[in-house]
Amino acid sequence: MNDSQAVHVIGAPLDLGAGCRGCRMGPDAIRCAGLLTRLRQQGRMVQDLGDVTLTEREKLSADSAGGHPKAKYIDEIVRFNRRLHRKTAASVEAGAIPLILGGDHSIAAGTIAGAARHKRIGVLWFDAHGDLNTVQTSPSGNVHGMPLAAMLGYGYPALKHIGGKRPKVRPEHLVLIGTRSLDTGEQELIQRAGIRMYASRELHRLGMSEVVRQALAAAGEGTDGIHVSFDLDGLDPGEAPGVGTPVSAGMRLTEALEAMRVIAASGLLVSAEFVEVNPALDLRSKTAHAAVELICSLLGSDTMEEKSR
């Protein structure tokens, strides 16, 4: 990443993968919280490419959770992610940084596949959850708990084959940060694949800056750069109340901002997504504003210092 790179903002207003509706309004909530103005004020060339959407016919078919009994709305989610994959890949190919605004975390299947189409990428996954379930292990059938497994090459064929049949990221190039709620199947996959994870206790023991430096060293080794996937439920619910699956004892916003600054300074950023902002659950747009702060820090703005001046 360099300061002259354009940023392509892509909205991904999908909430079929989540257990509750509302995060389809997330992209507009983040925009309304001042994202584009803030990025332009810090000197970024920003182009809003609009939203990837389902067609009216697909919206009608999504009224019932068909497709697979253990993967709700999977057909519609796959179609959406195929479009998102193409749009993300085109942005990377054009030399820009695609910045995707979710939507639920099932959109990561499209974004990671798109970023990996022309580059070999590492992934830093900031999330309370692993999202490493498959149709065999998911206790809920909600697809927002499955995209990372799919990108590693596990799970529902149509989902994992978006952008081609090869896995989009290798286990050694994936790092989970802030994870604190895992299902049994996810724990087994992490151990079996040797995935590096920094749970809340490691964040407190090592400090966020050191965690991210170690994560960048692992995910960046032998790759062309890093994709950042940030689920706002990675933050503590007191910092981000507007999420559908809050988990206590999460990251403080100041810690997460420090993580974004360390990534920005590395120069390794290829693409990023910020997901699961649900305005229907938010308090005075607190979560949407947190997303804006994180994005601006990732793209080079030292927001906390600016606010203190």
Residue 152 domain-assigned (yes or no): yes
Residue 131 annotated to the active site: yes
* Active-site hit among 255, 276, 282, 293: 276
Residue 37 domain-assigned (yes or no): yes
Closest alpha carbon to 126 in 299, 272, 12, 281:
272
* Active-site hit among 186, 233, 273, 282: 233
Residue 2 domain-assigned (yes or no): no
Tens-place pLDDT, residues 92-115: 999 999 999 999 999 999 999 999
* Active-site hit among 186, 231, 255, 258: 231
Tens-place pLDDT, residues 213-248: 999 999 999 999 999 999 999 999 999 999 999 999
Q: Provide the pLDDT for residue 17.
A: 96
Residue 161 annotated to the active site: no
Q: Provide the pLDDT for residue 25.
A: 98
Mean pLDDT of 261-276: 98
* Active-site hit among 129, 173, 227, 289: 129
308 pLDDT above the threshold of 50? no
Residue 123 domain-assigned (yes or no): yes
Residue 231 annotated to the active site: yes
Residue 1 domain-assigned (yes or no): no
**Model confidence band, residue 300 (pLDDT cutoffs 50, 70, 90):** confident
Residue 224 annotated to the active site: no
Task: Quote the number of domains for the chain.
Answer: 1
pTM of the model: 0.95
Residue 139 domain-assigned (yes or no): yes
Residue 144 annotated to the active site: yes
Residue 282 annotated to the active site: no
Question: Which stretch of 149-153, 199-203, 305-309 has the lowest confidence by average pLDDT?
Answer: 305-309
- What CATH number is associated with residue 175? 3.40.800.10
Domain span at residue 66?
A: 7-308
Residue 127 annotated to the active site: yes
Q: Provide the pLDDT for residue 309.
A: 38
Residue 227 annotated to the active site: no
Contact 1, 269 (CB under 8 A): yes
Q: Which string of b and e fits 96-116 if b means at least 16 CB within 10 Å? A: bbbbbbbbbbbbbbbbbbbbb
Contact 277, 242 (CB under 8 A): yes
* Active-site hit among 8, 85, 105, 289: 105
